[in-house]
Amino acid sequence: MLTRIVAEPGVKTAAGVERGLKPGALVLAALLIAVCAAVSSAAAPAPSPANGDGLNDGSTKAPSTLKKIDRAALQAMVDKTATELMAPGALVLLRTPEGDFTVSYGTTELGAASPPTADTHFRIASNTKTITAALIMLLAEEGKLRLDDPVSKYVPGVPNGDKITIAELLEMRSGLYNYTAAPELSESMDRDPARARTPAELLAIAFKRPPGFQPGAEYEYNNTNYALLGLIVEKLNGKPLAEVMKERLFEPLGMKQTYLPESADTAIPEPYTHGYGYGSVAAVLTDDAPYPPDIVAAARAGTLKPKDFTGLNHSFAWAAGGVISTANDMATWIEALVSGKVLDAEYQRKWLGGFKPQDPDKPDGQQYGYGIVRLSWGPNTIYFHGGETVGYNSKISYDPANRTTLVIWTSLAVSLDGQQPANTLMVNVLDQIYELSPLAAPAPGGKNGR
> What is the pLDDT, as a whole number, of residue 289?
67
Q: What are phi and psi of 305, to 5 degrees?
A: -90, 150
- Give CA–CA dist 442/447, Å, rounded: 7
Contact present, 66 and 44 (Cβ < 8 Å): no
Which CATH number covers residue 46?
3.40.710.10
Contact present, 382 and 398 (Cβ < 8 Å): yes
> What is the pLDDT, as a whole number, of residue 316?
98
- Counting Cα atoms < 13 Å in the Cβ hemisphere of 426 gives 33
Q: Can you give the residue range of the structural domain that contains 198?
A: 3-446
Residues 6+ apart with CB under 8 A from 112: none
308-352 pLDDT, tens digit per residue, is: 999 999 999 999 999 999 999 999 999 999 999 999 999 999 999
Q: Which of 120, 130, 108 is nearest to 2 (CA)?
A: 108
Tell me how many domains the chain contains: 1
> What is the pLDDT, as a whole number, of residue 63?
72
Q: What are phi and psi of 274, to 5 degrees?
A: -70, 155
Compute CA distances 20 → 170, 309, 366, 393, whole Å.
15, 17, 15, 8
Strand-strand pairing, 3-8 and 89-96: unpaired
> Which residues face 389 on adjacent strands?
392
Per-residue pLDDT in tens (0 to 9) along the chain, 450 residues:
333 233 333 222 222 333 345 433 333 333 333 333 333 333 334 444 433 343 333 334 567 899 999 999 999 999 999 999 999 999 999 999 999 999 999 999 999 999 999 999 999 999 999 999 999 999 999 999 999 999 999 999 999 999 999 999 999 999 999 999 999 999 999 999 999 999 999 999 999 999 999 999 999 999 999 999 999 999 999 999 999 999 999 999 999 999 999 999 999 999 999 999 998 898 888 766 678 899 999 999 999 999 999 999 999 999 999 999 999 999 999 999 999 999 999 999 999 999 999 999 998 889 999 999 999 999 999 999 999 999 999 999 999 999 999 999 999 999 999 999 999 999 999 999 999 988 875 543 332 222
Compute CA distances 121 → 170, 245, 269, 369, 384, whole Å.
27, 17, 7, 27, 20
> What is the pLDDT, as a whole number, of residue 135?
98
> Which residues face 324 on adjacent strands?
123, 259
> What is the pLDDT, as a whole number, of residue 337?
98
